[in-house]
Amino acid sequence: MADLIAPHGGLSEPICRTVPEAEVADFGAHAAGLTKVPVSGADLSSLYRFGDGGLSPLTGPMTKDVYDKVLEEEIIVQDGKNYAWTIPISLPVDKDLAGSLKEGQEVALVNQNDEVVATLKIGDIFPWDKAKYNTSVYLTERSDHPGARIALEDPREFLLGGEVRVLPQPKNPSFGKYVLTPRETRKLFAEKKWDKTVAFQTRNPLHRAHEYALIVGLERLTREGHFTGAVLNPLIGETKSDDVPADVRMKTYEALIDGGAFGEGDIDDELWKEKGQKFSDHVILLGLDIKMFYGGPKEAVMHGIYRQNFGFTHLIIGRKHADAPYDDGGDIWDPLDAQRKFDNLNGELLIDPVKVGFAAFFEEIGKVGLVDECKPKGYHPVSISGRELRTQLKAGELPDPRIMRRETAEILIAAMHG
């Protein structure tokens, strides 16, 4: 594991704030006597990543000085060195409850079922300046977009910082086998002997154009001479109510990869023949439980930080990465802003972006290709609006297989009509 990419923040291994199995009973008995602080479903994802090191080098929610430095300078400082960090993460708390707490106090963090999930040694209690937070994270003073509403619609008005100890995350019965800790993913990549590992972030079911972004990343690194692994690494934390639920999406991804359809017809057969390797042997599925911010360029950097901690060397950054438009449909950011963001970081980030443009199926080549390469040649893309696609699926109609594979569409249709 010594040859793997280092975790973020200059560490030799990911932070571990997870309670060992042998100590769980004693931990529970101790926590039962502490003041309870509720944690939302979305914040629970961050809490577990503090626990397993997915948010290394943080050992818990940020105190005000760290939080403000992220908002104002986009860095955290470790041992005198600046490391990139673009969205601050502290723990929201109700105003009345905040007034009853004090620095140095240890509290029990409880989930929505009132079950203890962690303890927090409070290092700071401070007001949540939501306007400043939203303007910094989303780079706009407008609030008519999904990201701004996350904070504005949250009734909690204060934030807690400090150090946590976290119980092991329960495994989701539907797809828990795909959700590993940073130590587990690093061990897996080492066992596969991949010298480069590229992740593709998504919160949506895949079109063939989405698949192609991961194909491009894998084949680009393979052409450079690396023995590369590619991981379809969807976000399975809490998302918008109109996003496809994680359990349904994971079924679609599993069907594509296990059934061998992923990349079919769109890969560079000559490359894999020349390498004497099989494309499908280099692609796996792993889920990542993280909070979604709908934060565009700044969230793209956070996606890189998470992936570096899990052992990835590269992350696909497409056009409109982590994008969500204004309510009127207008763009908050330029489509390429997330890609440019990696060229202008204020601190160290070791993971490398693989910048990929839009893709589409082109009749002239009979497969999916990059728009930037195919359009100048006069090739014609096969396209469909997201609204049309959803209408077809809701009607139980299979979309054009040049847009979305049957394996994905059938699962989505079944879920919509179940």
Please tell me the distance from the alpha carbon of residue 128 to that of residue 134, in angstroms, as a whole number.
11
How many other C-beta atoms are found inside a 10 Å radius of the C-beta of residue 170?
A: 11
Eight-class DSSP state of 128:
-
For residue 10, being part of any structural domain is answered with no
Residues 137 and 215 in one domain: no
Residue where the block lists tokens 């828990």: 176
Residues 253 and 105 in one domain: no
User: Which of 166, 192, 207 lies at the terminal end of a domain, its last residue?
Assistant: 166
Residues 250 and 395 in one domain: yes
Residues 106 and 255 in one domain: no
pLDDT at position 1, please? 42
Please tell me the distance from the alpha carbon of residue 322 to that of residue 326, in angstroms, as a whole number.
13
For residue 316, being part of any structural domain is answered with no
For residue 155, being part of any structural domain is answered with yes
Residue where the block lists tokens 């041992």: 79
Sequence-distant (≥ 6) Cβ neighbours of residue 18 within 8 angstroms: 51, 52, 165, 166, 167, 168, 181
Query: Taking the complete model, does pTM exceed 0.85, yes or no?
Result: yes
Nearest to 352 by CA among 303, 394, 392: 303
Please tell me the distance from the alpha carbon of residue 4 to that of residue 189, in angstroms, as a whole number.
8
pLDDT at position 391, please? 93
Please tell me the distance from the alpha carbon of residue 88 to that of residue 90, in angstroms, as a whole number.
7
pLDDT at position 2, please? 46
User: Which of 166, 193, 211 lies at the terminal end of a domain, its last residue?
Assistant: 166
For residue 62, being part of any structural domain is answered with yes
Residue where the block lists tokens 């950011």: 333
User: Which of 135, 166, 197 lies at the terminal end of a domain, its last residue?
Assistant: 166
How many other C-beta atoms are found inside a 10 Å radius of the C-beta of residue 184?
A: 14
pLDDT at position 343, please? 97
How many structural domains comprise the chain?
A: 2
Report the CATH number that the domain containing residue 402 is assigned in CATH: 3.40.50.620
Query: Per DSSP, what are the bridge partners of residue 19?
Result: none
For residue 336, being part of any structural domain is answered with no
For residue 343, being part of any structural domain is answered with no
Q: What would you measure as the largest C-alpha separation in the chain, in angstroms?
A: 70
Nearest to 198 by CA among 207, 190, 206, 189: 189
Report the CATH number that the domain containing residue 40 is assigned in CATH: 3.10.400.10
Residues 355 and 244 in one domain: yes
Please tell me the distance from the alpha carbon of residue 137 to that of residue 278, in angstroms, as a whole number.
42
Give residue 42's domain range.
21-166
Residues 143 and 252 in one domain: no
Tell me: the pLDDT tens digits for 293-318?
A: 999 999 999 999 999 999 999 999 99
Sequence-distant (≥ 6) Cβ neighbours of residue 375 within 8 angstroms: 381
Residues 186 and 102 in one domain: no
Residue where the block lists tokens 């052992």: 311
Please tell me the distance from the alpha carbon of residue 99 to that of residue 105, in angstroms, as a whole number.
13
Sequence-distant (≥ 6) Cβ neighbours of residue 287 within 8 angstroms: 175, 178, 179, 233, 234, 235, 236, 246, 250
Residue where the block lists tokens 């430095």: 69
Residues 355 and 400 in one domain: yes
Sequence-distant (≥ 6) Cβ neighbours of residue 295 within 8 angstroms: 86, 87, 137, 138, 147, 302, 322
Residues 273 and 409 in one domain: yes
Do you find a cis peptide bond into 57, omega within 30 degrees of 0?
yes
For residue 214, being part of any structural domain is answered with yes
For residue 277, being part of any structural domain is answered with yes
pLDDT at position 110, please? 98
DSSP 169-203: PPPPTTTGGG---HHHHHHHHHHHT-SEEEEE--S
Residues of the chain with pLDDT under 70: 1-2, 239-242
Residues 372 and 405 in one domain: yes
Q: Please provide residue 123's backbone torsions phi and psi, each rounded to the nearest 5 degrees.
A: -105, -15
- The two tokens of residue 55 are 């948010």
Residue 278 CB-density burial (10 A; 0-12 exposed, 13-18 middle, 19+ buried): exposed
Q: How many helices (H) and strands (E) does the chain have?
A: 15, 15
Residues 160 and 237 in one domain: no
Residues 237 and 357 in one domain: yes
